[in-house]
Amino acid sequence: MSNSPAEFAIEPIQKNNTNTFPFDPTNPDDWSNPPTTLQGAIDQLARRRQEVILGGLGPGGVFYPNNYIGPGFGSYSSAYVNAYGSGSGFYRVTQAGILSHFSVSNAVPPGSNISIDLQIAPSANPFLFVYSGVTITIGANNYVASNNADMLSVNVDDIIALYNPSFFVGYSPSTIVVTAQFLPNL
């Protein structure tokens, strides 16, 4: 495997208004910090954020109040985070890092604002799930929503589930997908 510029030409490390497109490794503005060594370049490439899927529901999906969903992509949510036979399951963290740029898309927008809380548990133990402090709110009649303000530090074997904190308001988003961007620690 060589380290030719073509292999770097995947996407910019950090977009800014002086980026060239496609990625040009000879343009310092295409790097968050222009590397001075090959190792520096490899480190920066390794630290690009990766889009990860935290969970969701499949076609016809229903997100009930006070329920959980996860990457099981079932057709309905679960009242219990570790319930058998419904749309829960967990996102497992396999490498320490930071989750950010939380995003939701749903095929059928809600009629009123819907909040989705990220709950996190250490040691892959669903009995330890607690609110992570991160909430994504889907506005009424919106197909997408973002939370670009919060960042969540995660460790190996943390697990994440998505929770509807309302006791009364559920909705039928059909297919809903919750993603985040993961930046691994070096």
Partner 1 sequence: MSGSIYAFNTSRYEIAAQLKTKATLTSGQAVKLVEFPSTSGFPVLKLDPATSTDAILGVVPIGTSLTEAVPSRIVGLNSPLIPVLMAEDAVAGDYILVATVDGKFKKAKGADIAQAQLLEDTKSANVGWAKPVLFKL
In the complex, the residues that contact partner 1 under the rule CB under 8 A are 66, 117, 119, 121-123, 125, 127-131, 163, 165-168
Instruction: Supply the minimum distance, in Å, between the C-beta of residue 147 and partner 1.
Output: 15
Nearer to partner 1, 78 or 119 (CB): 119
Nearer to partner 1, 123 or 141 (CB): 123
Instruction: Supply the minimum distance, in Å, between the C-beta of residue 70 and partner 1.
Output: 16
Nearer to partner 1, 166 or 181 (CB): 166
CA 56 centroid distance within chain: 11
Whole-angstrom Cα distance, residue 80 to residue 41? 45
Contact (Cβ atoms closer than 8 angstroms) between residue 176 and residue 56: yes
Nearer to partner 1, 120 or 176 (CB): 120
Sign of the CA dihedral 146, 148, 149, 151?
positive
Instruction: Supply the minimum distance, in Å, between the C-beta of residue 131 and partner 1.
Output: 4
Burial level of 115, CB count in 10 A (0-12/13-18/19+)?
middle
